[in-house]
A and B are shown apart, each in its own frame.
Chain A
Amino acid sequence: MALQDKYKELIDAAKSAGTSNLQVNEQDGVLHIDGEAPSGAVKDQLWDIYGKIDPNFLTGDVVMNINVATAVAGAKLKVVTESTNLNIRKGPGTDQPIVGKAAHGEIVSMISKQSDQWWLIRTDAGEEGYAYAQYLQPVE
């Protein structure tokens, strides 16, 4: 319960922001927070609160997996790579051949989610394939 107290502000914020399927479990000294935020902004807000309670996330007592509800089929996604192009691959895996690239900042469409990590996308140029979800952010 101590961890839930430490991260009370974070849990309360997740609840009040309308995070669906919110699950908070403490296991082996780690607080696991799972849920689906209604928007990318809420996800960012939750991560900011987490970072405030545990500066630089160095304590390692939280694993927070917040998905964004707007990341659904048909959604517009922005490529949020550091600066480089995003590889679009034939299949879901970095061992898969690259079939196209999306530029940094480009807007693409989501076709479907293969997993939390790999999303099937289509670029405006018509290139289709799997890209790593880490670099895709739903456009609000």
Chain B
Amino acid sequence: MIMKLKHLTTVLLSAGLMFMISCKGKPKDADIQATVTTALQSTPGISADVKDGVVTLAGTVTNQADKDAAENAAKVTQGVKSVVNNITVAAPPPPPPPAPDAAATADAALKTGVDAIVKDFPGITADVKDGVITITGESKADRWKKLKIALDALKPKKVDASGLKVK
């Protein structure tokens, strides 16, 4: 009788132990999912689905390293049997084409107009920057007046003639 009881105790104990081990060795899918999801938080855009210990990763990342890191993070999670990595690596969207520099475009248009005028005024050179026409060289007063009238008609921000010598 005592032997029988002892045997029963052993059986019960071992059964309990077995149960505990099996519990510990086989976490529920929901627990795995929670752990994996927490591990993946550092990489946004990835979701994990767990079924019978198999983790299926989905989502989109911008590079292969992120994809591999997510797979490794899932693999090392306790209870995970295998990982199906369905993460897509998508190249980041190309940077938007540089907006045409409005100021430079306006300067180029102004420069064309200025060049067309100044070519008829030997001895004078003109430069355009930020809508300001800078005049250098030397000219007779009446010629310079004609040039100034023509340049002002191009609607510059300023005509800087501080470098001009009027004879």
Q: Number of contacting residues on B, CB 8 A?
A: 27
Q: Is the CB of B141 within 8 A of A64?
A: no
Which of B115, B119, B145, B153 lies at the interface centre, i.e. has the most chain A CB atoms within 10 A of its CB?
B153
Counted as pairs of residues, one from A and one from B, with CB atoms less than 8 Å apart, the total is: 63
Stretch at the interface among B44-52, B64-72, B156-164: B156-164
Given A117-B113, A134-B117, A65 and B158 contact (CB-CB distance below 8 Å): no
Q: Is the CB of A64 within 8 A of B157?
A: no
- Chain B residues, CB < 8 A from A116: 153-154
A77 to chain B, nearest CB (A): 15
Q: Is the CB of A134 within 8 A of B144?
A: no
Q: Is the CB of A56 within 8 A of B154?
A: no
Using a CB-CB cutoff of 8 Å, which residues 21-72 of chain B contact chain A? none
Q: From DSSP, what is the main secondary structure of chain A's interface residues?
A: mixed
A98 to chain B, nearest CB (A): 14
Which B residues contact A (CB, under 8 angstroms)? 112-113, 115-117, 119-120, 141, 144-146, 148-150, 152-162, 164, 166
Q: List 26 A-B contacts (CB under 8 A).
A: A28-B157, A28-B158, A32-B155, A34-B155, A47-B145, A47-B149, A51-B145, A56-B145, A57-B145, A57-B148, A60-B158, A63-B152, A63-B155, A63-B156, A63-B159, A64-B149, A64-B152, A65-B152, A93-B112, A93-B116, A94-B115, A94-B116, A117-B116, A133-B153, A134-B146, A134-B150
Known: A28-B158, A93-B116. 18 other contacts (CB 8 A): A32-B155, A56-B145, A57-B161, A58-B162, A58-B166, A60-B160, A63-B156, A63-B157, A63-B159, A64-B149, A65-B152, A65-B153, A94-B116, A116-B153, A117-B153, A117-B154, A132-B116, A134-B149
